[in-house]
Structure formats: structure tokens, C-alpha cells
């Protein structure tokens, strides 16, 4: 029996997020075969909306692992021009992840993964800059296990976080954007965290269901060289198939000068040495999705946790460009709920994960 929430989810993605129009060229890309039910609904809806061409593709991460482990230098440096040529024709891109094992790349060749990410950067840049794109997740047993939930519980959690009234959420975010736009100095104080930086002249960007689903954050970027202090992230993060916990970063003049993660120091620093920009921060964001409250080991959810911030080494977004360039964009999450303060200039914005500044009280969940 079909789950009617899958159709509802597809309608959010097609009608609100990507705004599919007659004549659009659409690409639906799904990592993992378990996402087929959502691919089917997206495909049908795009045709019903009048898209002139809809292509869908499935990739299997466990097969992709062979590439990283077996590819020669020539194979790793080959640029798939045909993929870039097609991406230039694409108006709408849906990126779905339905992987059944988040650790599939844990033992893959890390240097090959880094090299290939550099090669593929022009295609990703074209997708980000040239399409109405949205990326999301489809519930699988593997993802549920990572989230420490049953599949039924995970489905309930995912659909609740994704199938929201995004127009209403967007209105709520206006006040936070206004505070970000007006601020100069930011300070984050929490356990083993005391971080200061400037966001002067860098706009607040609402994330209100257009590009990521689930969504729910307002982001900006630090002035590149302004970051001083240290931060310890208390949310697990999976990057290039490896899980990192309790990452601690120390900054001087914007640059990460020391990076540790228990048992993973070498792997962490290898990623941060991908290029010069990987040791600078390209994004600072505040999570505001009221339906996401606990880590799930899935960054698309975890970076939206209400009462969290993420402070991201690597590439800056065009919408809020502090000049940092990198093949890396690694969202690392700090949950402030129960332990933390967020200050804009001399104003206490958030304490222990709830907004206390009067204009922002409407963002707090009703609980």
C-alpha cells in the first residue's frame, strides 16, 4: 500500500521548493534504490506540471566505492564533460539520498575521494548556480538505524520535518534575518566553546524550504579573517564516509590552527588540508526547524536542529560570499540547548537553545 505522505512530500518538492514550470528540463538523481517510490512521484508530478523533459538516474554508493579504491590517476583526473554539458541544459535538479549504509565509504581511499571532489567541482557549481535545485532524504532502514529509531518512527520524524507550511516558516525567519543583517560581532559561549567573529556587511539568508528539505536555518558567513577562539562540536558528523565526534577547532585570524577529534585527528586534518580554504570558514548558521530536536547523524537534518548553530569550514555560498574558496564544505553542528549563549553585539539573542530577544520569540517551538 502506498504511503500518502510520499505524494505529499513530492508535492512540497515540486510545487514549493523547485517550482517546476512548463518547459523545464528536470533531472532527478537518487543515491540508493530504496528511494524509488519518491522518484516515481516526482517523475509523475513533473510531467503533470508540463516539464518538457524529465530524466532520472540511480547511483549505488557501494558500487561507487570501487571507483575510489581502484581508479588510476588517469581515471581520477578524467572530467566527464558530458555531465557538465547536460547540467547546463537542466532547469530543475532533485537530489535524493536513500542510502542504506552511511558508512559505505568509511574504508574507501580518502585521497581519491578528495581528488575526485576537485574534478567534479565544475558540475556541482553549475548545478548550484544554474538550476533550481533541492536536495533531500528518503527514509530507509539504514538511516533509521543511524538515527537510533525504528523505521516507522523515522518516517514520522522525516515527514513531519519536511511536510511543513514553509510559507509560514519563511515569514517567521524574517525577524532573524533582520537581526543578522544588523549585527557586526557574534559571540558563541558554551561548554569548551568561546568564539568571536564579525559578520558585518554579510547578509542573512533565509533557508525556508527552497533548496534543502528538511530546511529551517538562517545563515551568513564570518568575515574571513575575523574568527578568533575555539569551538567544540557536540553533534556527530559523517564526512567522506567517516564519523567524527567532539571535533574541536582553534582559530587565529580566521584560520584553523589546531583541529582534533578523538581517534580521528589524522583523518580530520587531512580533510582540512585539502586546500587553503578548507581551514577557513565559509558559513555560520542558526538552526530553527521546530520539528528537529535531536541529532540523526544526517547533516541535512542535524544542521537544522532547533537550538543549534553550525560553523562550516570550507567553501562560502554565492548568496553570502566572504571570499573563501575550497573543495570542502563541511557543516559541523553545535547544539546550544541547555548549554550555551548566542550574542549579536551586546544583545543576548539565544540562551540554552531558545530565543530570548523579543523580536525572535515567535520562532520558539510551542512544546
Q: What are the distances in angstroms from CA 242 to CA 102, 119, 188? A: 9, 21, 27
Predicted local distance difference test score (pLDDT) of residue 277: 97
pLDDT digits (tens, 9 = 90+) for 192-205: 999 999 999 999 99
Q: Which residues contact 152 (CB under 8 A, 6 or more apart)?
A: none
Q: What is the mean pLDDT of residues 161-179?
A: 94
Q: What is this structure's pTM?
A: 0.81
Residue 46 has pLDDT above 80, yes or no: yes
Confidence of residue 100 (pLDDT cuts 50, 70, 90): confident
pLDDT digits (tens, 9 = 90+) for 58-94: 999 889 899 999 999 999 999 999 999 999 999 999 9
Q: What is the mean pLDDT of residues 120-143?
A: 93
Q: In the predicted model, what is the mean pLDDT of the chain?
A: 94
Amino acid at each position: 500500500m502506498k504511503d500518502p505522505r510520499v505524494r505529499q512530500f513530492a508535492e512540497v518538492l515540486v510545487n514549493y521548493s523547485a517550482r517546476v514550470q512548463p518547459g523545464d528540463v528536470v533531472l532527478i538523481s537518487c543515491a540508493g534504490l530504496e528511494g524509488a517510490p519518491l522518484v516515481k512521484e516526482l517523475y509523475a508530478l513533473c510531467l503533470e506540471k508540463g516539464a518538457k523533459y524529465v530524466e532520472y538516474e540511480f547511483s549505488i554508493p557501494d558500487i561507487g566505492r570501487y571507483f575510489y579504491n581502484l581508479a588510476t590517476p588517469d581515471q581520477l583526473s578524467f572530467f566527464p564533460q558530458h555531465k557538465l554539458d547536460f547540467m547546463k541544459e537542466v532547469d530543475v535538479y532533485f537530489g535524493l539520498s536513500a542510502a542504506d549504509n552511511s558508512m559505505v565509504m568509511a574504508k574507501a581511499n580518502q585521497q581519491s575521494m578528495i581528488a575526485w571532489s576537485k574534478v567534479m567541482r565544475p558540475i556541482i557549481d553549475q548545478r548550484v548556480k544554474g538550476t533550481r535545485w533541492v536536495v533531500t532524504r528518503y527514509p530507509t532502514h539504514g538511516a533509521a538505524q543511524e538515527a537510533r529509531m525504528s523505521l516507522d518512527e523515522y518516517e514520522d520524524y522525516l515527514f513531519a520535518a519536511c511536510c511543513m507550511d514553509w510559507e509560514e516558516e519563511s515569514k517567521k525567519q524574517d525577524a532573524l534575518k533582520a537581526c543578522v543583517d544588523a549585527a557586526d560581532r557574534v559571540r558563541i559561549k558554551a561548554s569548551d566553546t568561546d568564539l568571536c567573529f564579525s559578520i558585518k556587511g554579510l547578509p542573512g539568508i533565509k533557508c525556508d524550504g527552497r533548496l534543502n528539505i528538511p530546511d529551517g536555518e538562517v545563515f551568513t558567513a564570518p568575515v574571513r579573517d575575523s574568527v578568533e577562539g575555539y569551538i567544540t562540536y557536540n553533534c556527530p558528523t559523517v564526512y567522506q564516509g567517516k564519523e567524527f565526534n567532539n571535533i574541536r577547532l582553534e582559530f587565529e585570524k580566521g584560520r584553523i590552527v589546531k583541529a582534533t577529534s578523538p581517534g580521528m585527528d589524522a583523518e580530520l586534518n587531512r580533510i582540512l588540508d585539502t586546500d587553503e580554504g578548507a581551514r577557513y570558514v565559509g558559513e555560520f548558521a542558526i538552526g530553527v526547524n521546530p520539528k528537529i530536536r535531536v541529532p540523526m547523524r544526517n547533516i541535512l537534518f542535524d544542521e537544522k536542529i532547533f537550538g543549534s548553530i553550525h560553523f562550516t569550514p570550507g567553501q562560502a555560498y554565492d548568496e553570502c560570499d566572504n571570499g573563501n574558496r575550497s573543495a570542502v564544505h563541511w557543516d559541523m553542528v553545535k547544539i546550544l540547548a541547555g548549554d550555551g549563549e548566542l550574542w549579536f553585539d551586546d544583545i543576548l539573542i539565544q540562551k540554552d537553545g531558545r530565543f530570548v530577544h523579543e523580536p525572535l520569540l515567535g520562532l520558539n517551538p510551542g512544546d
